[in-house]
Chain A
Amino acid sequence: MNINWQEFSPLYSTFGGMLIGVAAVLLFAGLGRIAGITGIIAGLLQRKRKDHYWRLCFLAGLALAPVIYQVFAPLPEIQLQNNLSGLALSGLLVGVGTRLANGCTSGHGVCGLSRLSIRSLIATLMFMGSGFITVFVIHHLL
């Protein structure tokens, strides 16, 4: 197995992960809500609810993060890896998949595993495995 030592950034990754954990804890401690992005978005799309305000605020915070980041440091070079149709199709798969599974990397992977949920463990193993296979197929088979 070839490890990409150049791109490997354990300190940034761990610290970034800790920030994610802090955010999830704060949301749960403050509002009693799970920081699962799919769930937060899906709740916004359901008209019957009356809790749109906190969802919009959280999502706005996410979109604001890069602006705030740049106050302290230049943004990392981020390039999208797909053409427009690839973005659309993968976006559709992500939307359908996370909604069916009732969670994504934040909902199941972070919050679910932090709550020691077996269901989230299975979901996480499943989407990780699927991700590994997909990348293998796209980058090494096709």
Chain B
Amino acid sequence: MTVEAGGLRMANPVMLASGILGETGKSLLRVHEAGAGGVVTKSIGFETREGHANPTFLEVAGGYINAMGLPNPGLDEYAPELMTAVAGGAVVVGSIFGSDVEEYARLATRVQEYGTKAVELNLSCPHAQGTGMELGTDPRLVASITAAVKGVVAVPVFVKLTPNITDIRDIADAAAAAGADAVVAVNTLKAIAIDAGARVPVLGNRVGGFSGPALKHIGLRMVWDIYSMFHGPDGSPSGGRTPAIIGVGGIETGVDAAEYILAGADAVQVGSALVDGGPEAPGRIARELCEWMDASGFTTVDEFRGLAYRNSLRE
């Protein structure tokens, strides 16, 4: 079931999402060895960050809310972990975040040196000089960061999109025009948990990001919107750059993954499913997807990518 998504070749289209089991190379390898097609690291910056105070994670109805706060030991400390994962044979995508364009470019260059097969830009962090709005809500910033990174690395550049936005197509369009090889849709949705008994927010950071099964139909819709924008009313690619789409949000089974591909995704990422399913979840989902493809008569992902969109045009 080999696929190529945005220039990244993988044994299957089911990847580990950023922020899950990514603290060490050995943890990433565990997920790789259990069958994930690719693994995305936790988001790394130049500086050491402890992240937010606990509680940082909470199970709620329909999913989870987390406010980890981008904890990471800084790129220098993390480099050996990256190299361990790469040396162990994983297809490693390095997720990076910075406070400005120049930081993203420098991080991307370094991360490529350690053997990552692609770079994923985490834009769900507040602008250093800004109002606290996520970088990823500003199409011009997204474009300049994407262009800057594309200008300095040879590996594919993925742009992870935030769903905390009125119209994700604006951002997807900006990323595509700036040269993104793929857009990853979507990151977590802003949320808060209030405890009625203690009468305070639960998470240490108060607000957090919602993920998990209840996000699936939202992620699916965003993939759908992006795919339809790039594939016009008759289903053929519109003019200009058409990035690959990597779908994320609430995927728990192979059929969920199939739905995302039918909506237009080239590959998918899995995160919250590891709470129940453990490190084996992405591999299991890949196998289930394979079974679904066999049962449905598809040999390759290409055969049914965006098929639900094309089918919907024939009325």
- Chain A partners chain B: no
**Which positions in B face A, CB cutoff 8 Å?**
none
**Which positions in A face B, CB cutoff 8 Å?**
none
